[in-house]
Amino acid sequence: MKAFKRNDWLTIFHYTGFIITITAILFTLPILVALFNQEWSALLDFLIGFSTTLIIGSTLRFVGLQRETQKRLEWKHGLVISSLSWLILLILCAIPYYLSQQYGSYLDAMFDVMSGFTTTGLTLALDLDHMSISLNVWRHMLTFVGGQGMVVLALSFLFQQTQGAYKIYVGEGKDVELVPNVKGTARIIWVISLINLFIGTTFLTIIGILQVGLQPLNAVLHGFCIFASSWSTGGFAPSSMNMLFYHSFPYELATMLFFLLGALNFGLHFAVIKRNKRELYRNIEVQSTVITVFISAVLLLYALSKIGLYDNAVLNFRKGIYHLLSAHTTTGFGTIYVRQFISDFGELGILILIIVMLIGGSACSTAGGIKGLRIGIIFKSILHEIKKSLSSERRILLARYHHIRDNTLDDGILKSSFVIALLYILLFTATTFIGIRYGYPAIEAAFEAASVTGNVGLSIGVTVPTMPSGLKITYIFAMFLGRMEFMSVFALIGILISEVKYLCLKKYSPSH
């Protein structure tokens, strides 16, 4: 039987077209920057990208236009719309990258787009230090928007509440409704992010001018780019030396502050704004993150002391704690050269970074990884089982946890937490094995695999433009799966397989 009928596809095309058309508006910022800086070649690249995206988005919307479209949005549609939009945008947003000749192939350009969308932060640019200003703004804007979600962006532009919009929203790996409708939730996410963008860019610009010694306009550009990367836990930077370029402790401290805040759940931000400050220490996600950060910090500092290269507390903080938080929040900023991880951190240090990269930040935030909420739930259930086995058999113990409100830990929540955690570990293992098959040492393959699976962006030196194409495709897929939290990608694959099966059966059936 066919999984999707003609009307289902029309609904999917309509909403996918809507998301693509809204995303086309993003091209206007780099176009304005290219005009302002008189980057004519880059301007042409962006105009080509903008018109292609607009034409394809509008065509899909037009093809899928039908009277009943808005009424028939189901879960299966929502999941497929999210992943299909991401895949089409991956190809379209790579146009200016490829035309700029900063990338060796279209695959490399798509790698960078996926890295930006998923807030990973790995790059295959050939010469980052001589990239046009407009292309740099485009890279960082994609990572900022990707952090909030391309679908979230599109939904905030809905003119009226569309029934079933929540299903597309969930498909992108977000599941918290801050207010009763998705349009309102999407808008709140954007308001919080844009206010922080203004504060953060201003703050980094001031430090850039006063402490780093940047020219005012350059400081604004760096301030915008670094804040966009920090808040979205992305990890892109305008310089190939990443954060090492600034050689500034205040600049590093500011980024730490921003990526810590960026890795928090939007539900938590909203609760604090609603004057529910107790949420900051009662939330299971905050508690689990604080515990994992402190345990891993002690272990990492011990590992660093054994190596002995960082011999004082300030160095340990700037190199050790910085990378630990950068990995845990899945940001990927670095204050050392990539090959220094092996010499400075040692195998134990690298292992700790791999574990925290897999744990990741908060659910419904800009961060990736298994997420603090799921880790908290899993540990809570283990503790509950121990408690149950120690208590008298007649007592019924109910496990509870606090996340925005008091919740009962039921089998459904526990099962989904375990399944997602298991899928992350399987993806990490498979990606590591593929890296080893391509000839990389196990520790390096594992580090890079954890980085792409958790959407982190720290690199140990595997991700370079000359790496094998097969590994580039593997990493693109791992970043995509990690960001979408599997389900919507699986839904798209399942639908495509059933469509192919249906076509094959139709072709070879005896009646034909």
Partner 1 sequence: MNFEKLLIGLITEYLASILFLLLLGLLCYGIEVLI
Applying CB under 8 A, does 31 fall inside the site for partner 1?
Answer: no
Applying CB under 8 A, does 302 fall inside the site for partner 1?
Answer: yes
Smallest separation, CB 338 to partner 1 (Å): 23
Q: Which residue of 2, 71, 247, 274 would you call a contact of partner 1, by CB under 8 A?
A: 274
Contacts 24+ apart (CB under 8 A), 265-269: 265/176, 265/362, 265/363, 265/364, 265/365, 265/373, 265/404, 266/174, 266/176, 266/178, 266/188, 266/189, 266/192, 266/364, 266/365, 267/176, 267/178, 267/364, 267/403, 267/404, 268/362, 268/404, 269/192
- The Cα–Cα gap between 161 and 36 comes to 38
Applying CB under 8 A, does 320 fall inside the site for partner 1?
Answer: yes
**Closest CB to partner 1 among residues 87, 272:** 272
Residue 22's alpha-carbon distances to 166, 182, 330, in angstroms, are: 18, 17, 27
Smallest separation, CB 120 to partner 1 (Å): 23
**Closest CB to partner 1 among residues 191, 503:** 191
Smallest separation, CB 278 to partner 1 (Å): 11
Smallest separation, CB 455 to partner 1 (Å): 21
Applying CB under 8 A, does 301 fall inside the site for partner 1?
Answer: yes
CA geometry: angle at 55 spanning 49 and 57, to 5°? 95
Mapped to the 3 state alphabet, what secondary structure does 25-43 carry? HHHHHHHHHHHHCCCHHHH
Question: What residues are paired with 408 via a beta bridge?
Answer: 400
- The Cα–Cα gap between 353 and 419 comes to 23
- The Cα–Cα gap between 80 and 168 comes to 8
Residue 190 tokens read as 């954007």
**Closest CB to partner 1 among residues 188, 220:** 188
Altogether, the residues listed in the chain come to a count of 512
Smallest separation, CB 255 to partner 1 (Å): 11
**Closest CB to partner 1 among residues 241, 348:** 348
Applying CB under 8 A, does 280 fall inside the site for partner 1?
Answer: yes
Which residues 163-192 are close enough to bind partner 1 by CB under 8 A? 188, 191
Residue 56 tokens read as 């394809």
- The Cα–Cα gap between 266 and 271 comes to 9
Q: Label the pairing between strands 405-408 and 400-403.
A: antiparallel
Applying CB under 8 A, does 297 fall inside the site for partner 1?
Answer: yes
**Closest CB to partner 1 among residues 95, 325:** 325
Applying CB under 8 A, does 253 fall inside the site for partner 1?
Answer: yes
Applying CB under 8 A, does 195 fall inside the site for partner 1?
Answer: yes
Smallest separation, CB 183 to partner 1 (Å): 14
Q: Which residue of 126, 206, 209, 272 would you call a contact of partner 1, by CB under 8 A?
A: 272
Q: Which residue of 44, 65, 199, 382 would you call a contact of partner 1, by CB under 8 A?
A: 199
Query: How many other C-beta atoms lie within 10 A of the C-beta of residue 491?
Result: 23
Q: Does residue 13 contact residue 60 with C-beta atoms inside 8 Å?
A: yes
**Closest CB to partner 1 among residues 117, 144:** 144
- The Cα–Cα gap between 61 and 68 comes to 14
Q: Which residue of 26, 226, 293, 363 would you call a contact of partner 1, by CB under 8 A?
A: 293
Smallest separation, CB 194 to partner 1 (Å): 12
Surface-to-core class of residue 109, CB atoms within 10 Å of its CB (0-12 exposed, 13-18 middle, 19+ buried): buried
Window of 42-50, 66-74, 268-276, 474-482 that interacts with partner 1 by CB under 8 A: 268-276
Spacing of C-alpha 233 from chain mean position: 7
- The Cα–Cα gap between 23 and 116 comes to 14
- Contacts (Cβ under 8 Å, ≥6 apart) of 291: none
**Closest CB to partner 1 among residues 314, 390:** 314
Q: Which residue of 37, 181, 196, 202 would you call a contact of partner 1, by CB under 8 A?
A: 196
- The Cα–Cα gap between 173 and 175 comes to 7
Window of 101-109, 159-167, 230-238, 311-319 that interacts with partner 1 by CB under 8 A: 311-319
Q: Which residue of 67, 275, 394, 512 would you call a contact of partner 1, by CB under 8 A?
A: 275
Q: What is the DSSP letter of 394?
A: T
Smallest separation, CB 284 to partner 1 (Å): 16
Smallest separation, CB 461 to partner 1 (Å): 27
Q: Does residue 208 contact residue 219 with C-beta atoms inside 8 Å?
A: yes
Window of 89-97, 122-130, 292-300, 418-426 that interacts with partner 1 by CB under 8 A: 292-300
Which residues 392-431 are close enough to bind partner 1 by CB under 8 A? none
The site for partner 1 (CB under 8 A) is made up of 188, 191, 195-196, 199, 253, 256-257, 260-261, 264, 269, 272-275, 277, 280, 290, 293-294, 297-298, 301-302, 305, 312-314, 316-317, 320-321, 325
